Structure 1
């Protein structure tokens, strides 16, 4: 995450070469205030920036370490994320390959199978409730699921490695707005998934259009982008 935070800091300053130079001054000694002049501690503004919902604007041409923190619009965030490196593709799900549908039932009773998913965009997540990287991306996954919650042609399914009871207990405290499938070790193994989290998007024609492994600060952007491309084709 430290590498990505550095990239995000540099993108949120001014622009071009000057922004890259100023990024070198963004550290624990930087002076960060909001629009009212309230100053934030390093730990406070670092957490805001790490959420990827806030940006920094340089405001003093005579000092390289003074910034104003502000809440970014969705357009601001998309522009920032578009400049980050694309997430690492999963070796188990290459773009363009046919997806092998499976039949299973989610914990909420939702039936999953070729017939139920025909003509729909499938957003699939393989995860482990004990994995910090999986936990870290939950807010981003929920952001995307919330955006499409009224769209019946986009289906979100999370394949968890844990048993049903521990998973239900976990999501009570850390909600995930996907249809949850428990005891997914064999399903993960049959799809050659051994890295977590793994996200996959399958289009209406049953083709993989996007996948990634590991956490990524721009995962919400890439999921939304891939879903929209799937819906358009």
Structure 2
């Protein structure tokens, strides 16, 4: 009986706090969504995309910067929940992680937020100067791609997640094939010989540049694969993401600017 009363009080406080704010209510119950890791994981994959642009709210519904929001998630005491909205703006709010929640929820959120914060800090900077030769002998450089939107996929042959998204990124190339101001290139760790053998079995519609391990590790300082960059027509990084789903959303926005 005491547990039931405590639950009712929690729900009352939760609903009361949202009756006093201009923002919508959470689209899921912040406590119930933490019942199992599987429940939270399914929700996060479908509804939370930290790479996108969103209005960030702290636990008291105060607007904060995206960087501050991600730092709170890295600290491990909050989960992000999307708020209901009647407009096209995304609102994410911080809610406390429950003491009895699966520790995997906290670990997953923290690692995801850490990667997203690193990506976020890269955005708005010029992409490093480069001049490479792809597998077909074409020179690919900042100069040859000036005035174009550039999509860059960073990967390697033994990265399962990188290969799994091949059909999806190939479909993306097909979708934008009539837009001549959008170019797709990829940086791969592997040698030309390894790539030619591999791509004969698993085609990739991007221009492929071999032997990029040092460049990706030292110049781009990547620690997660795949990583996708979108550069605007001035060569500035507008978005860095680690999944095809995030790439698709970001490229659609960039292509309409």
Q: 1:17 to 1:186 in 2, by over 3 A?
A: closer
Larger radius of gyration: 2
User: How far apart in 2 are the matches of 1:121 and 1:156?
Assistant: 9
Superposed CA RMSD in Å reads 3.2
TM-score, scaled to structure 2 = 0.54
In structure 2, do the counterparts of structure 1 residues 208 and 90 end up closer, same or farther at CA, with 3 Å as the change threshold?
farther
Aligned match of 1:122: 150
- Change in Cα spacing, 1:205 to 1:174, as seen in structure 2 (3 Å) is same
Asked if the contact 2:153–2:227 (Cα under 8 Å) also holds between the matched residues in 1, the reply is: yes
C-alpha distance in 1, partners of 2:124/2:219?
19
Q: Secondary structure at the match of 2:233?
A: coil
- The equivalent position to 1:203 in structure 2, one of 228, 232, 240, is 232
2:247 to 209, 223, 232: 223
Unaligned runs of 5+ in 1: 1-15, 28-79
One of 179, 183, 194 as aligned partner of 2:207: 179
Superposed displacement of residue 226, structure 1: 2.2
Higher relative contact order (CA 8 A, sep 6+): 1
Contact 1:204–1:231 (CA<8 Å) still a contact in 2?
Answer: no
Residue in 1 aligned with 2:193? 165
For 2:50, the equivalent position in structure 1 comes to 86
Count of matched residue positions in the alignment of Structure 1 and Structure 2: 161
8 Å contact kept, 2:153–2:187 = yes
TM-score (norm 1): 0.59
- Rate the CA distance shift 1:200–1:17 in 2: closer, same or farther, 3 A: closer
